[in-house]
Structures are given as C-alpha cells and as structure tokens.
Amino acid sequence: MQILVTRFHLLLLTVTLAMSGVGAIRIPADFIFSAHWSGNAADWLWPREAIFVAPVVQLGLMAAFFTLGRLLTKNHYAKSQHILDPALTTLMGVVASTQLGLLLSGIGSDLDFIRVTAYALGVALLLLGVILFEAERHTYAGLRMPWPVRNDHAWRIVHRAAGLAYGLAGLLLLALAWLDMGLALLTMSFAAALLLPAVIAGFATLLFDRR
C-alpha cells in the first residue's frame, strides 16, 4: 500500500503527546510563555495551552502526507517515497523539538531548546541549499514534482532557485536564533523556512515547464 506515514512518525506523535501530558502536569496553570520581546519587555504572550498545539499540527501533517501517498500514482510514489518520507520526518521532528523547547521553558529550564532547534535546522537547510544548487540531473535524485521538468537547462535553473531559497531560509533562521527575538518568531520561521522554498520550487517547475 502507498502509505507515507510510518511507525516512526507515530512514535514522534506519541513522544509529542507525552510531552504535552508532562507539560499539563508540571507547568503551572497560570504560566505565560513570553513569545516575543520588544527591548526588555515581552509584548506577545502565549497561554500554557500552547503546549497542546504541537500534537494537532503533527496529526495534520500525517493526514496530509497519508492523503498524498494515496493520491500519487504507483510510478511517482516509487520515485518520490525516498524524498517524501524524510520530509515528513523532518517536519514532525521540528514540531517535536519545538514542543520540547516549550516544555523546558515552562518548567523553568535555562536551556532554550527552540533556539537550539533553529540553529540545527538553519545549518541543515543551508547544506540542503548548497546540495540542490550544485545538483546535476539524475533519474532519482533532486526535487520531485507530479509534473516533469522537460530539459536539462530548466532542471538546473529550478534546482538553483530552490537551492538559493533553502540557503536563504537557513541563513535567516541562524540570524533569528542569534538575535533571540522570542519563540513566536522562531516557530513561525520554522514553518516558513521549510514550506516556502518547496512552494517556490513547485512554481519554478511549472514556469519552466512551459518554456
């Protein structure tokens, strides 16, 4: 069966749910997350219930990838599984890491794990950007779309555009982590850094497919 959701993804969901449970017990009911800072004052606050958002996001991701796997043809699924599977793992892992950061913050830990996640993800996206930018056309490697890129020149331009997008996203995350402007901006930047370059790559393939 064409199922992109694996037992490991279910494990990540279980771990995130467990962290939500621990947070519900250990984090005081009146605790407020300082989500954004302006100078020395917090100007954006999140309630303790923010710890219950991550499992919902993960369930949404699993549902989306499960549906995608069922919609793909067998041929495209076979060519895309090795890319879509780690993509879902990365998205689920970033959500779980963010949840751990919220939990640690809520229980009073000095370790800002959301910034740690931002640094790690920034480096990973920067490396991915370099790899895509320098990639040569290959039957199985590179970006995977439901539609083809018809010639080598277009394939190279699309991958360089995607590489630049992921590289800039990685640099932006590293800069935001260094400036430490609050967990709200970082968590929103995670989503933007992971999704927007993929969207840019998709539109680029459509654009050059017409030429």
CA distance 87 to 119: 18
Backbone angles phi, psi at 40, to 5 degrees: -100, 10
The pLDDT assigned to 58 comes to 96
Helix (H, G, I), strand (E, B) or coil at 139: coil
**Low-confidence residues in the chain, pLDDT < 70:** 1, 37-42, 79, 135-154, 202, 204-211
Model pLDDT for residues 114-166, shown as the tens digit of each residue: 999 999 999 999 998 888 777 665 544 555 555 455 666 667 777 788 888 88
